[in-house]
A and B are shown apart, each in its own frame.
Chain A
Amino acid sequence: MSQKAERLIDKKGLRLDGRKPDELRPVKIEVGVLSNADGSAYIEQGKNKILAAVYGPRELHPKHMALSDRTVLRCRYHMAPFSVQERKSPAPSRREVELSKVIREALEPSIFLEYYPRTGVDIFIEVLQADGGTRGASITAASLALADAGIPMRDLVAACAAGKVEDTIVLDLMDEEDKAGIADVPLALMPNLNAITLLQMDGILTLEEFESAVNLAIDGCRRIYALQKEALKAKYVSVKEVEE
Chain B
Amino acid sequence: MSSVITRVKQKQIAQLIAKGKRLDGRGLTDYREIKVEQGIIERAEGSARVLLGRTEVLVGTKIEIGEPFLDTPNAGVLTVNAELVPLASSTFEPGPPDENSIELARIVDRGIRESKAIDLEKLCIEAGKRVFVVFVDVYVLNHDGNLIDASALAALGALLNTKMPKYEIEEGEVKIKPVYAPLPLRRRPITVTFAKISDQLVVDPWLEEEQVMDARLTVAIDDDGNMCAMQKGGSGYFVAKQVLEAAKVAREKAEEIRKRLEW
Contact = CB atoms under 8 A, between A and B. Distances in A.
B238 A98 contact: no
Most buried by A among B99, B236, B240: B240
Nearest to A110: B237
B230 interface: yes
B99 A97 contact: yes
B70 A195 contact: no
A192 interface: no
A105 B217 CA distance: 12
B102 A98 contact: yes
A207 B103 contact: no
Contacts of A18: none
B231 A200 contact: yes
Contact of B106 (A94, A108, A190, A203): A94
Chain B facing A: main interface SS: mixed
Contacts of A95: 106
B86 interface: no
Contacts of A194: 239-240
A101 interface: yes
B243 A214 contact: yes
B8 interface: no
A196 B232 contact: yes
B83 interface: no
A43 B72 CA distance: 32
B99 A98 contact: yes
Contacts of B225: 207
Interface in A184-199: 185, 190, 193-199
Interface string B195-221: 000000000000000000001010000
B106 A214 contact: no
B228 A105 contact: no
Contacts of B236: 109
Interface residues of A, number: 35
Most buried by B among A104, A185, A211: A211
B101 to A, nearest CB: 10
A23 B151 CA distance: 39
Given A94-B105, A97-B102, A109-B237, A204 B244 contact: no
B121 to A, nearest CB: 11
B91 interface: no
A100 B240 contact: no
B153 interface: no
B244 A102 contact: no
B248 to A, nearest CB: 6
A243 interface: no
A50 B102 CA distance: 24
B110 interface: yes
A164 to B, nearest CB: 11
A105 B239 contact: no
A225 interface: no
Contact of A204 (B99, B228, B231): B228
Most buried by A among B103, B106, B235: B235
Interface string B92-110: 0000010100110110001
Contact of B237 (A97, A98, A196, A211): A196
A205 interface: yes
B102 A198 contact: no
B235 A2 contact: no
Given A202-B228, A203-B228, 11 more contacts: A105-B232, A195-B239, A199-B231, A200-B230, A204-B114, A204-B228, A207-B225, A207-B247, A207-B248, A207-B251, A210-B244
